[in-house]
Chains A and B, each alone.
Chain A
Amino acid sequence: MSELRDLLGELTDDVDAVLLFAPSRSVYEECEGGDAPVVVVDAENDVGADNYVELPLEFTDIETRIRFALEGAREAGYVEETDEVVCALGAFGGDIDTVVRVRAGQFTQSGIYDLFVNSRAEPAVVRDVLDVAIELGKKGQKGKPVGALFGVGDAGKVMNKSRPLSYNPFEKSHVHVGDPIVNVMLKEFSRLDGAFVISDSGKIVSAYRYLEPSAEGVDIPKGLGARHMAAGAVTRDTNAVAVVLSESDGMVRAFKGGELVLELDPEEY
């Protein structure tokens, strides 16, 4: 067993920071005593840590989770680009079972942290929209896969870069994403064509919008359809972010600044 211990010791030697994902209080207090600064990454700061990165979604993909935490920690100045970082996280279920060593600059910035925290829309709104898209992707409309496009934030500009395909069902309503009934409504309206427009504070401004931004110079992976192209283009033309549920492959993708920043498989959530 000593070889294993050595291996683990090698992994954890000379690190500049420790990222603890959803630690219990006892784990946090144990690590707090060490030399390297501890950063807690969790949905809520239950342990009352000084260095804390909020995790808006339980990313099931480990790489996405680490990426998000690293970008958040760099943004907050907890780690530098050249730092060696050890991440302790639970890959299978809640308790910490995995230790990963990475260099903070190893990943190119994907902007996934940026997507939540530095968008025009509030982080909670981006999260709620992703939740709705994931939910929609999981269940579909009456068992059939559906596609949907949500433009989130900078609603005034998005409205001016689009035109109505039909009457707006959300006219004079005050519905916000995250309201309990809203998932059902969005599910119903997702059979309509066009995009949903959501304001910075999460108000659903309109459905049935035909986005017409200029798609010039939008670089998204080949093979994605017109819906994704429209999403990429609208985020390049405005300060909105776009969340797309693909009808063909069922993936949820988020765009910002004309680029694909996040890809999630609804089945995993």
Chain B
Amino acid sequence: MSIHESVARLVTNSRFLLAGFIFVVGLALGYLINRLTRRLLRALGLPDTVEGTAFERTLQGLGSSTVGVVAELIAFTIYLGAALAALEVARIVDTRAVLPFLSAFIPQVVIAALVVIAGLVIGDKAALVVGERLRGIKLPEVGIVPTLIKYSIFYIAALIALGQLGVATSALLVLLAAYVFGLVFLGGLAFKDLLAAGAAGVYILLNQPYGIGDEVRIGDHQGIVQEVDVFVTRVENDGQEYIIPNQRVFRGGVVRIRG
């Protein structure tokens, strides 16, 4: 028996060697995926997107970053999987009892963790963006809007994560449903006129049945059109400027006066 034959037999027969091989391949794969994920996330511009959020700042205080954590998390899953597979092959411990449970549970935990991270980042980012937008409005109460958006997103992320882990979330779901219903219903009620004006405004802007400088009569207001935007039409007559919601233009029609 030549040497290489015996080596081949050892490799194919020895469970320990095979297990070791699987484990090493798993480590290498995990490391590769780790690098790949980092590069992919960087290419997608994630570092710029998450910049300034509380989550990213906390991680940077700890010497890491969002990209790093996500990549490590994915790599860690692969390491764990490889270790489990190696143990299974080597039959050192009896993994039959825990394996089905673990193989079902670990992905869920990982996904839940990813959802939590995404929720934290998106919620913070949304609050930042909205806050930036609202900065022009000098009203202290407006500060509540970004906070509300942030915690709404946190709440939804927490719900999804808990659902992944199999925790009973139906009570929280009911709360969410009530919240969304309130938002949609009251929002719809509040924005009804604005939506109608906006829909009419889009038509008016696209087709321009009348333009700036035309003399028109809308309802009982007659004058020269000064401005048309999505929501209102401004008609001026003798120093009086009528600001007419666009849905009124649609409902009542316009008379164009050609002189």
**B52: CB under 8 A from chain A?**
no
Task: Tell me, in angstroms, the Cα distance from A99 to B211 when the chains sit together.
Answer: 51
Give the distance in Å from the alpha carbon of A158 to the alpha carbon of B226 in the complex: 10
Contacts of B211 in A (CB 8 A): 205
Within 8 A of B (CB), among A180-213: 197, 199-201, 203, 205
> Considering only CB atoms and an 8 Å cut-off, how many residues of chain A contact the other chain?
15
Task: List which A144-168 residues lie within 8 A (CB) of chain B.
Answer: 154-160
* Given A160-B213, A203-B212, A205-B212; A155-B205 close (CB under 8 Å): no
CA distance A167 to B226 in the complex (A): 20
Q: Are A156 and B229 touching (Cβ within 8 A)?
A: no
Measured between beta carbons, the chain A residues less than 8 angstroms from B56 are: none
Grouping DSSP codes into helix (H, G, I), strand (E, B) and loop, the A interface class, with mixed when no group exceeds half, is mixed
Cβ contact within 8 Å between A199 and B205: no
| A241 CB → nearest B CB, Å | 15
- CB-defined contacts of A158 to chain B, threshold 8 Å: 213
Q: In the complex, which of the residues A156, A174, A201 contacts B225, with contact meaning CB atoms closer than 8 Å? A: A156
The reply to whether A156 and B205 form a contact with Cβ atoms under 8 Å apart is no
What residues of B have a CB within 8 angstroms of the CB of A203 in the complex? 212, 227
CB-CB nearest in chain B for A154:
B226
Q: Is A172 an interface residue (CB 8 A)?
A: yes
Q: B208 an interface residue at 8 Å Cβ cutoff?
A: yes
Q: Which of A155, A160, A172, A174 contacts B227 (CB 8 A)?
A: A155
Does B236 sit within 8 A of A, measured CB to CB? Answer: yes
Asked if B224 is an interface residue, CB under 8 A from chain A, the answer is: yes
Closest residue of A by beta carbon distance from B226: A156
Q: How many residues on the B side are at the interface (Cβ–Cβ under 8 A)?
A: 13
Is A200 a contact partner of B208 (Cβ separation < 8 A)?
no
Q: How far is the CA of A159 from the CA of B215 in the complex (A)?
A: 11
CA distance A203 to B234 in the complex (A): 14
CB of B129 to closest CB in A, whole Å: 20
Q: Are A156 and B208 in contact (CB under 8 A)?
A: no
Among B215, B226, B236, find the residue whose CB has the most chain A CB atoms closer than 10 A. B226
Decide if B213 touches A201 in the complex (CB within 8 Å): no
Contact A174 B205 (CB under 8 A): yes
Which residues of B205-259 have CB atoms within 8 Å of chain A's CB atoms? 205, 208, 211-215, 224-227, 229, 236
Contact with B229, one of A154, A157, A201, A205 (Cβ below 8 angstroms): A201
Known: A156-B214, A159-B212. 7 other contacts (CB 8 A): A156-B225, A157-B226, A157-B236, A199-B226, A200-B226, A200-B227, A205-B211
18 contacts between A and B (CB under 8 A): A156-B214, A156-B224, A156-B226, A156-B227, A156-B236, A157-B224, A157-B226, A160-B213, A160-B215, A160-B224, A172-B208, A174-B205, A199-B227, A200-B227, A201-B227, A201-B229, A203-B227, A205-B212
Binding site for B on A (CB under 8 A): 154-160, 172, 174, 197, 199-201, 203, 205
